[in-house]
Structure 1
Amino acid sequence: MVLFRIWRVQSILYTMVPASLYLGFSASIIWVAEGTYLTSTARSHAHDLNLEEGNVIGNFNGEFWGMFAGHQFVGNLMSLVLLKDGTGGTTSGSGTTLLYIVFLCSMTLGTILMCFLQKRDAKGEEILPDSSVSFYTSMVSLSKSVIAPLFDLRMLLIIPLIAYSGLQQAFVWAEYTKYIAEPALGESGVGGAMAVYGAFDAICSLAIGRLTSGLKSMTLIVCAGAFIQLIVLLWLLLRYSVTSGVLGILCPLLMAAALGIGDGIFNTQLNALLGMLFKHDMEGAFAQLKVWQCVSIAVVFFVSPYVSLHAVLVVMLVAVCISVVGFLFLTLMVEKAFSFAD
């Protein structure tokens, strides 16, 4: 029995770790490509219809992130149903099989649709691949493109906000579900709380995308999102305690809604902002976005077992203040360049 347990732990280690590395590597490529393609498509659409570029980029990002956040609502509702009896479907593999089927169908549909995409520049002209460029030259150019934004003051001022967006996502997944949702709502209620989070995330993304027009509008929206999450963090740090009754249910759900609104704001605004500021190096800019977000998420998951909720909240409060200050300084620095937006 002991040998079997050792073998089982080792088999999990030898399969899950490589699988996680592979998924992380693949996801990084997908997300950088998504940000670049969405922005270039928005510019092409704005050029074709003679529309304001900032408005179109905001709308496209709002619609994409609204659709993307919808998976959190649907997926967590499914988990709520599967866990409603408290067993989590452990007596039957039907729940797990259903999830795998949904994942497989979604991935297959996305792959098929991707085959019909065509990369276009800002003028709406199709870009054909250049077969004369060697693989080595392409890799060198790509490496320079990824590193170059780090020498741009604008990117350095955005990085704290990018890092905080990753922190707040990891906080919801790791800390909120463990210390807030589960004690108040039970294991089966976590899915319901996260469904509320996903619903408000999706609704906010769709709505905020329509309000995005330029740097000034982004500044107001980002400050509003940061203020909403700041209130939640202070509430958790100073006043919140798990209670019973109606308030014990409503408070975690209200927090989930506020955190979802903040996440929707940060997702739409950061992607639109990078698309507007880094027109000539979008791949490098979106690569930096995913690097700093993923680093922040990984740090939270690594240190979560060793630190208290109070310590995490203090770090989050400091991070949101630093990120907002950096973003406001960026706004002042490039305000003239985006005076056409409003």
Structure 2
Amino acid sequence: MGPEGKTLLNIIILGFGFMFMFTAFQTCGNIEQTVIKNFNSTEFHGSGYTSMAIIYGVFSASNLIAPSVVAVIGPQLSMFLSGLVYSGYIAMFIHPFTWSFYTASVFVGIAAAILWTAQGNLLTINSTDATIGRNSGIFWALLQFSLFFGNMYIYFAWQGHAHISDKDRQTVFISLTVISLVGSFLFFLIQKREPEATPSDSSDSLPAESTESASVVVSSPSLGSQALDAFKKALQLSVTKEMLLLSISIAYTGLELTFFSGVYGTCIGAMTRFGEDAKSLIGLSGIFIGIGEILGGGVFGLLNKCNRFGRNPVVLLGMITHFVAFYLIFLNIASDAPIAPEEGTDLEAYFTPSVEVALFCSFLLGLGDSCFNTQLLSIVGFMFREDSAPAFAVFKFVQSITAALAFFYSNYLLLHWQLLILVIVGFLGTLSFFVAEGTVVKSRQDTDYNSI
């Protein structure tokens, strides 16, 4: 197999590893609040929302140390060890204790920062300027398929279960733990690239060569300074006009990530008006979110290649899609559903609760999310081409800290207040994106004019 075939195989293995891991973890996040509310123990006082708030808060702060960890132990081992931490978090639900629940949440936050830094590094090492777009697309598509399989399992396993018993919980989380471990061990199948294969970017190839003791000795003195330089550059970028404008849009993606990945599934599972299948509908909702994500990401990812109309129409479509979803959810789901007790809520919203409307909203949430994320990734990569690593570190910092904030307030706020926050921030984020895109168009026009 030639070098090109080897690197493509590495990307596919990377994608499958993440697909297995996040089939387990995203399914876990989708159902954990429902599982906790059905857990019969007077000694356990944990909250799924609080756990996710801790994870995203620690994830945000840990972006500062992740590059140094990956540089020292290499991306492959970084992903494997991070994967073990993810598996430990999932396994904790087999018999949860409050202390182990929140301790595991802290460690997953650290592991997440290292995992995604290593993923970006491996993607770069195994790509060229000509293949980075294709490889990113392959990885992204495989990752999004993780929304299907775990949620499909939940749908069939929990069908007709009004209450999630200890046996139901243990069966699901033992299965998810095994699936997560399979993903972690897949990372060992990734083959190392030859150092000369990436001469253009020595900083990206450092982790790939770090298994050779000689290169570690030579490279080690500069690791700290590289991490410090990247940190300083990230701070500088975070206060630029362009990044401040985009930060509102990025903050919105953190808020709506929280809503569709943790809150909305809990709301559906709490609706007793959906009948005995309410708990299994959590899985079906996750599947429809995945369909929206894959459809939107595929279509709008391709549209970036023929960027004739700019990014604004796609972001506007994302806002409209989400606002339609929020309005229908407001009409369809009871206001106390996010914080309802174990037995659920008997309340109605403004019309008789409809399963079809609830699942249609799941699809719209996924579609709208892909609209925002594909265009934000595109514009950040374009505007900060020379400083992409620190720029994306700022992106992840803002997104994860707002996600943490949203998981925290989800413990207390009724559904209509959560939806109002999403509408306000979504509207402001869309406007600020338009302004940022305007500066891109103007700079492009100035460049074209000066080149005449």
- Per the normalisation by structure 1, the TM-score is 0.82
Asked whether the 8 Å contact 1:201–1:260 carries over to 2, the reply is yes
Per-residue CA deviations over 1:221-249 (Å, capped at 9, x if unaligned) read: 122111111222233346774765xx812
Answer yes or no: is 1:26 the counterpart of 2:102: no
Aligned length: 325
2:64 maps to which residue? none
CA–CA distance in structure 2, aligned partners of residues 299 and 118 of structure 1: 42
Counting only pairs closer than 5 Å after superposition, residues 135-174 of structure 1 correspond to structure 2 as 135-174=223-262
1:197 maps to which residue? 289
Question: How much identity, in percent, do the aligned residues show?
Answer: 22
Per-residue CA deviations over 1:18-52 (Å, capped at 9, x if unaligned) read: 32112111212332444566578666226xxxxxx
Asked whether the 8 Å contact 1:39–1:275 carries over to 2, the reply is no
Q: Equivalent of 1:45, from 110, 122, 130? A: 130
Asked whether the 8 Å contact 2:383–2:440 carries over to 1, the reply is no
Asked whether the 8 Å contact 1:146–1:288 carries over to 2, the reply is yes
CA–CA distance in structure 1, aligned partners of residues 405 and 204 of structure 2: 39
Counting only pairs closer than 5 Å after superposition, residues 1-342 of structure 1 correspond to structure 2 as 12-35=97-120, 38=123, 44-45=129-130, 57=133, 60-86=135-161, 88=164, 90-91=166-167, 93-113=170-190, 115=192, 128-129=205-206, 131=219, 133-180=221-268, 182-183=270-271, 184=274, 186-213=278-305, 214=307, 216-237=309-330, 241=349, 248-338=354-444
Asked whether the 8 Å contact 1:61–1:209 carries over to 2, the reply is no
Question: What displacement does 1:102 show?
Answer: 0.9
My pick for the range that moved more, 95-104 or 69-78, is 95-104
1:51 maps to which residue? none
Over the aligned positions, Cα root-mean-square deviation in angstroms equals 3.3
Asked whether the 8 Å contact 1:62–1:208 carries over to 2, the reply is no
Asked whether the 8 Å contact 1:167–1:316 carries over to 2, the reply is yes
Amino acid paired to 2:415: L
Question: What displacement does 1:292 show?
Answer: 1.3
Q: Secondary structure at the match of 1:306?
A: coil
My pick for the range that moved more, 16-25 or 306-315, is 16-25
Q: Secondary structure at the match of 2:385?
A: coil
Asked whether the 8 Å contact 1:43–1:123 carries over to 2, the reply is no
Amino acid paired to 2:102: V
Asked whether the 8 Å contact 1:208–1:265 carries over to 2, the reply is yes
Asked whether the 8 Å contact 1:65–1:206 carries over to 2, the reply is no
My pick for the range that moved more, 152-161 or 142-151, is 142-151
Structure 2: which 5+ residue stretches go unaligned?
1-40, 47-95, 207-217, 334-348
Amino acid paired to 2:300: I
Q: Secondary structure at the match of 1:91?
A: helix
Asked whether the 8 Å contact 2:286–2:362 carries over to 1, the reply is yes
Q: 1:113 to 1:215 in 2, by over 3 A?
A: farther
Q: Secondary structure at the match of 1:45?
A: coil
2:60 maps to which residue? none
CA–CA distance in structure 1, aligned partners of residues 430 and 371 of structure 2: 13
Question: What displacement does 1:116 show?
Answer: 5.2
CA–CA distance in structure 2, aligned partners of residues 205 and 268 of structure 1: 7
CA–CA distance in structure 1, aligned partners of residues 358 and 365 of structure 2: 10
Amino acid paired to 1:30: L
Q: 1:318 to 1:42 in 2, by over 3 A?
A: farther
Asked whether the 8 Å contact 1:119–1:126 carries over to 2, the reply is no
Amino acid paired to 1:108: F
Q: 1:14 to 1:120 in 2, by over 3 A?
A: farther
Question: What displacement does 1:329 show?
Answer: 0.4
CA–CA distance in structure 2, aligned partners of residues 43 and 276 of structure 1: 17
Q: 1:271 to 1:89 in 2, by over 3 A?
A: farther
2:23 maps to which residue? none
Q: 1:82 to 1:180 in 2, by over 3 A?
A: closer
CA–CA distance in structure 1, aligned partners of residues 202 and 308 of structure 2: 27
My pick for the range that moved more, 184-193 or 27-36, is 27-36
Q: 1:70 to 1:119 in 2, by over 3 A?
A: farther
Per-residue CA deviations over 1:146-194 (Å, capped at 9, x if unaligned) read: 2121122111111111111111111113332233464135112111111
My pick for the range that moved more, 102-111 or 122-131, is 122-131
CA–CA distance in structure 2, aligned partners of residues 142 and 180 of structure 1: 43
Q: Secondary structure at the match of 2:112?
A: helix
Q: 1:127 to 1:295 in 2, by over 3 A?
A: closer
